[in-house]
Structure 1
Amino acid sequence: MTAYRARLTEIDIHRLIKATNEDERAAAAHKLCRSMDRAELGEDDRAAAQKILRILSQDAAELVRRAMAVTLKASDLIPRDVARRMAADVDSVALPIINFSPVFTDEDLIEIVRAGSAVRQVAVASRPTVGRDVAEAVAEVGCEQAVRALAANDNADVAEAALGRCVDRFGTSSEIVAAIAYRQVLPLTVTERLVELASDAVREHLVTRHALAPETAIRLAAFARERATVDLVDQASSQSDLPQFVQGLNARRALTPSLLLRALARGQMALFEHGMAELAGTPMARASLMIHDAGPLGLRAVYDRAGLPPRLFQAYRAGVDTWRQLQAEGVDTSGDDFRHRMLERFLTQRPNAPREDLAYLMERLDHDPLPARARLSAAA
């Protein structure tokens, strides 16, 4: 320690001052900073080192200040007041320090964010760790690039409200929506909002990674909510917790007659059965028996008990009859081929369904995978 202290003398400063050009001073600054950062410093050594750093941070040559910033960007050796001064320097000096220095407080970083420089906001948002208050500031006033960097930083502690604010401000940015969607952890409310905004690929990621279905319903306007929920059940039909999904829908008043009709028309009998049982307050086994009762009374009884509108009963009746006919024909009711045939046959019956539901079902008929027989015919 004594030997090293001998090196941290005015001689080092004089060597920097006497260097003939900026490149030489920058090289000397780099070597000295690296040596100081690697050494085990006692209290006196640390004070001597910080004295040199204060002088270096005020060097007239940008190259010297940058050499110090890059070499000690992640070091706690730089005093906080020096780090703050360097953060106000030109970008080449400021950005490494802003991006990495551990000596900043959250208040320092929030001040940098609110100052409004886009590149410095990005540097804050990309730090190895970002505190919750800092993340909130970026979400509130950060530029689009900074918000994208924050969303992509899984080491940033971004509260649910801050993520919601990011979506409020930049929900039309596909890059920001994707960055938020690919975070390791997402609050339920944010996940739901992203489904409405995301591309097909990102939506698929949300469904599979963040368990959107079958636990959640989509908080959208009535038409979009029902449509998205049924589409998500396509992804979740093989999972075992459909009863919990249906209970959640009902608790949030999303288990609507329209949703159940769309699910039934697309062959999602499990969702339909669980939904009817939930609305009717009837055990699932009993509801299923009543739905598939060959007589005229079973479906009607559970339908009325569920409180569904009388005007839609014939459309529901057509859906159940179509499903039973296809099942009697030996069609596998679990695949895309069945869903397409179910929807196709249901629509040919001209069911007395609301116009918006028919429009949705027609669109699904156009976009769902063709049955194998249709693909073979097209190939021929």
Structure 2
Amino acid sequence: MTAFRARLTDMDIRRLIKATDEDERAAAAHKLCRSIDRAELTDEDREAAQKILRVLANDAAELVRRSMAVTLKASDLIPHDVARRLAADVDSVALPIIGFSPVFTDEDLIEIIQAGSAVRQIAIAARPRVSRDVAEALSVDGCEQAVRTLASNDNADLSERAMARTIDRFGDAPEIVAALAYRQVLPLDITEKLIALASDAVREHLVSRHAVAPETAIRLATFARERATVDLVDQAASSADLPRFVAQLNARKALTASLLLRALARGQMTLFEHGLAELTSTPHSRAWLMIHDAGPLGLKALYDRAGLPPRLFQAYRAGVDTWRALQAEGADTSGEAFRERMLERFLTQRPNAPRDDLAYLMERLDQAAPPVMKAANAA
């Protein structure tokens, strides 16, 4: 036994009980609980410690019980029955334990949620970890602030069903919609629902951070300029099923020469390949060969078959050649840095591209530039 670790015996309990002043007992409880929490306890010590905790949990003074709850709120030393007792206490005692204690089961927490206390629901929603079942219970029975806290908690395991239920209950609450929208991972259906409810700023985040369905992307891309718009190049490139996305774009006549040129100039070669494959009804593997391995005439043959404007072919040719040159230099073609280099080099060649496309590419290049470069350009 080290000098730091005090022996936990009946003497400790008697010393604690002996004090008659509430403040004195609370100070003694805090000191004792802190020693217990830091100590390396043997089984015998642990049994004695839990005996002390049961005494503290039954102390008539709220200040003493709160002292224990705050000091040991995140400790696994508190017995399960004591934790439940404290959770049923007044808020000043219960909330620290409810918000942190690892000894509660999901069933315990769900029972507290269903009891209906808003402040206790909020404490559960903010816990360092919220399981899927507990999150489900909050989505059903939680008050608005508890659900908002849950949606903002990245350590809460929210299922798609819980998110959908949250939207059904609080879809008219902008703060909850925004909290959901800024979660790290969103199912596609949830993203679609949030887009319909979100403010312009939040909608911009959704369409730039999360892939949306092709139909939604096309619809958003046709919004007035002052509305939140979606970049179809970014949306297609981030799609989990690129062939399907490209097919949808083609079905809605959105797979245009302009879109493919913009994608190519920004280094999105896979999107360009799938786009030509879709337009020519050619398997992607064959389109890839014609673009990359069929000599100088392969790209021209595929391009002509796609029905793209002859006057733009040289711009496409410059894009493919630029991509190949950077790849030959050993560039990682999957990174954002590559896309910036690709765009810069493509534009320095003064490609014979439509004015709108050049304006778009220049705008994207300006967005990609680091702050120092932007400041220098402004000067």
State, as a whole percentage, how many aligned pairs show the same letter: 60
| Alignment length (residue pairs) | 294
**1:77 match:** 77
**1:193 match:** 193
1:278/1:137 CA distance change after superposition, 3 Å: same
CA shift, 1:45, in A, is 0.8
Is 1:237 matched up with 2:233? yes
Determine the C-alpha separation between the residues in 2 that align with 1:68 and 1:171: 40
Determine the C-alpha separation between the residues in 1 that align with 2:187 and 2:54: 44
CA shift, 1:269, in A, is 7.6
Determine the C-alpha separation between the residues in 1 that align with 2:20 and 2:230: 72
- Any residues of structure 2 matched to 1:23-42 within 5 Å, and which? 23-42=23-42
The 3-state SS of whatever aligns with 1:237 is helix
Is 1:228 matched up with 2:220? yes
CA shift, 1:280, in A, is 8.8
CA shift, 1:290, in A, is 3.6
> 1:77-128 CA distances to partner (integer Å, 9 max, x unpaired)?
1000000010011110000000100101111111111111111111111111
CA contact (8 A) 1:193 1:218 kept: no
Aligned to 2:214, which of 217, 229, 232? Answer: 217
Determine the C-alpha separation between the residues in 1 that align with 2:159 and 2:240: 27
The 3-state SS of whatever aligns with 2:164 is helix
> 1:198-229 CA distances to partner (integer Å, 9 max, x unpaired)?
2222222222322x25xx3356xxxxx75225
Determine the C-alpha separation between the residues in 2 that align with 1:146 and 1:157: 15
CA shift, 1:276, in A, is 11
Which amino acid in 2 is paired with 1:29? A
Determine the C-alpha separation between the residues in 2 that align with 1:242 and 1:167: 25
**1:86 match:** 86
Determine the C-alpha separation between the residues in 1 that align with 2:2 and 2:354: 90
Determine the C-alpha separation between the residues in 2 that align with 1:150 and 1:243: 28
Which amino acid in 1 is paired with 2:219? R
> 1:11-63 CA distances to partner (integer Å, 9 max, x unpaired)?
32232223232111111110011111111111111111101100100111111
**2:152 match:** 152
Which amino acid in 2 is paired with 1:179? A
1:334/1:243 CA distance change after superposition, 3 Å: farther
Determine the C-alpha separation between the residues in 1 that align with 2:140 and 2:13: 44
CA shift, 1:158, in A, is 1.2
- Any residues of structure 2 matched to 1:1-380 within 5 Å, and which? 1=1, 7-210=7-210, 212=211, 216-217=213-214, 226-228=218-220, 230=222, 234-237=230-233, 241=237, 247-249=243-245, 260=253, 281=281, 285=302, 290=307, 292=309, 331-335=355-359
1:97/1:328 CA distance change after superposition, 3 Å: closer
| Gaps in structure 1 of 5+ consecutive residues | 220-224, 295-326, 340-380
TM-score, normalised on structure 2? 0.65
CA contact (8 A) 1:276 1:287 kept: no
CA contact (8 A) 1:192 1:218 kept: no
The 3-state SS of whatever aligns with 2:40 is coil
1:53/1:238 CA distance change after superposition, 3 Å: closer
Determine the C-alpha separation between the residues in 2 that align with 1:91 and 1:154: 25
1:40/1:246 CA distance change after superposition, 3 Å: closer
| Gaps in structure 2 of 5+ consecutive residues | 263-271, 288-301, 312-350, 364-379
Which amino acid in 1 is paired with 2:62? E
Determine the C-alpha separation between the residues in 2 that align with 1:8 and 1:218: 68
Determine the C-alpha separation between the residues in 2 that align with 1:244 and 1:47: 54
Determine the C-alpha separation between the residues in 1 that align with 2:116 and 2:23: 32
Which amino acid in 2 is paired with 1:217? P
TM-score, normalised on structure 1? 0.65
Determine the C-alpha separation between the residues in 1 that align with 2:261 and 2:354: 18
Determine the C-alpha separation between the residues in 2 that align with 1:64 and 1:293: 84
Determine the C-alpha separation between the residues in 2 that align with 1:107 and 1:52: 26
1:330/1:108 CA distance change after superposition, 3 Å: closer
> 1:318-352 CA distances to partner (integer Å, 9 max, x unpaired)?
xxxxxxxxx9996343435999xxxxxxxxxxxxx
Determine the C-alpha separation between the residues in 2 that align with 1:242 and 1:68: 51
1:7/1:268 CA distance change after superposition, 3 Å: closer
CA contact (8 A) 1:34 1:71 kept: yes
Determine the C-alpha separation between the residues in 1 that align with 2:178 and 2:235: 25
1:99/1:227 CA distance change after superposition, 3 Å: same
Determine the C-alpha separation between the residues in 2 that align with 1:329 and 1:99: 59
